[in-house]
Chains A and B, each alone.
Chain A
Amino acid sequence: MSVKDEVQKIKGSGSANVESIAHEFNGVAGDLLAQAVADIKSGKIQIRDTTDLEKVYRIYKDVNNITDGMSDEAGTGALPELNAGQEHAIEQRVKVNTETTTSSNGDVVQKKTIKLSDLADLSKEDVGKMINDKEKAANNENAKDIV
């Protein structure tokens, strides 16, 4: 069965559960990746350069949810939340937009985003102050460990 067929099958199930779709899609991608690895070993598929290799590795990472250690300490794959001081240091220098969406189960989800065009408009001085203020807020949060 091709990827297209698999995707059609998933879409046809009528499920609006994004996590479920992602899980099924990863299953399909995982099967195809296993086949691709076998084909690479047998020489049927040739890895010609680092770009080809990177593409295969990226699929592997996505399927396995590998975050290269950049995620939170619990290993959930999400970046750790910023404390109020760190958020304030960023919001003071660059416009932070709030997008509100409704999830498949009816929950209202708010997501904060920064446009890269707004980020690009910052002066060197603004960036320096943002880095310094954010670092100070993180440092003071860490200082709460000291008793």
Chain B
Amino acid sequence: MSNKVAGVIGGLDSYSGEDLAKIARETYGATDSITPEQLALLMDYLVPSSYIIRNHRIKNGKQRFTFSVPNYGDNIPSKAFSHRPWQKQVVNDISNDLVVIKSRQLGLSEINVAFMLWWVDSHSYAGVNALYTFPTYRQMQDFVKMRLNPILEGVPYFKSIVDPNMNSIDSKKIRNSFLTFRTSSKPGSVEGINADAVFLDRQTCPL
């Protein structure tokens, strides 16, 4: 399923109508029809950017997520800061190996986490494992505490799918999937971790 995603890989025409009808039957059981809301839900789970718009929040879980803002250039700074259309291409690119070389402060850590949440949630039927690393332990701790936890605790949707019995700084369970956070400063810290997807954040690369 994850090979058919609207975005860079397959383009916007990745899914056919037959694909949608098949997924609808598998999701909602033997039925001849579905509601527009049910169709919207299906489409949002298929496409990372749509899932993020539906579920992700920023500013401690208080502001809904946008990739672009209409009239962002009308001298209102908050609109300009929230207008980040380049992020959509990155989240919808599901290449096996994806490397982004970028400047600072483009919101890539935010969408990395948002993408990871989509990935573990939409693949939870298979009980997948994701590993997210930071250069230092301090960075990891700050990120989980200040950026990830407010989303998981503040957004009702995520709150309902996070296992409260496994929700620490370095590991979390979402439905049947697991998130592991580690520092990448020492090879030993990631030894033996079972990971289906690896996210390496803030790897400095002097050019």
Residues of A within 8 A of B (CB): 68-70, 73-75, 79-82, 86-87, 90-91, 94, 96-97, 111-117, 119-132, 134-135, 138-143, 145-147
Query: What are 30 A-B interface contacts by the 8 Å CB criterion?
Result: A68-B161, A68-B175, A69-B158, A69-B161, A73-B156, A75-B160, A79-B38, A79-B40, A86-B40, A90-B36, A112-B36, A113-B33, A113-B34, A115-B32, A116-B34, A120-B21, A122-B16, A122-B20, A124-B17, A126-B17, A127-B15, A128-B12, A131-B12, A135-B49, A135-B50, A138-B50, A139-B53, A139-B66, A143-B79, A146-B69
Q: Which 8 A-B pairs have the closest CB atoms?
A: A122-B17, A128-B12, A124-B13, A69-B160, A142-B64, A120-B21, A79-B37, A128-B13
In contact, B15 and A146 (Cβ under 8 angstroms): no
Task: Give the distance to chain A from B82, nearest Cβ to Cβ, in Å.
Answer: 5
Residues of A within 8 A of B34 (CB): 113-114, 116, 119
Q: A69-B160, A113-B33, A116-B33 are in contact. Are A82 and B40 (CB under 8 A)?
A: yes
Q: Which of the residues B17, B37, B70, B161 comes within 8 Å of A119, measured between beta carbons?
A: B17
Residues of B within 8 A of A (CB): 6, 11-21, 24-25, 31-41, 43, 46-47, 49-50, 53-54, 63-70, 76, 78-79, 82, 156-158, 160-161, 175
Q: Which of the residues B32, B50, B82, B175 comes within 8 Å of A117, measured between beta carbons?
A: B32
In contact, B16 and A123 (Cβ under 8 angstroms): yes
Q: Which of the residues B31, B67, B79 comes within 8 Å of A139, measured between beta carbons?
A: B67
Task: Give the distance to chain A from B73, nearest Cβ to Cβ, in Å.
Answer: 13
In contact, A146 and B82 (Cβ under 8 angstroms): yes
In contact, A116 and B6 (Cβ under 8 angstroms): no
In contact, B54 and A128 (Cβ under 8 angstroms): no
In contact, A90 and B63 (Cβ under 8 angstroms): no
| Assembled-state Cα–Cα distance A116/B36 (Å) | 11
Which of B16, B65, B68, B78 has the most chain A CB within a 10 Å cutoff?
B16
Residues of A within 8 A of B64 (CB): 141-142, 145
In contact, A134 and B14 (Cβ under 8 angstroms): no
Residues of B within 8 A of A141 (CB): 64
Residues of B within 8 A of A90 (CB): 36, 39-40
In contact, B63 and A146 (Cβ under 8 angstroms): yes
In contact, B36 and A82 (Cβ under 8 angstroms): yes
In contact, A124 and B16 (Cβ under 8 angstroms): yes
In contact, A115 and B33 (Cβ under 8 angstroms): yes
Residue of B nearest to A99 (CB): B33
Residues of B within 8 A of A142 (CB): 53, 64-66
Which of B6, B20, B63 has the most chain A CB within a 10 Å cutoff?
B20
| Assembled-state Cα–Cα distance A24/B13 (Å) | 47
| Assembled-state Cα–Cα distance A70/B51 (Å) | 12
Residue of B nearest to A113 (CB): B33
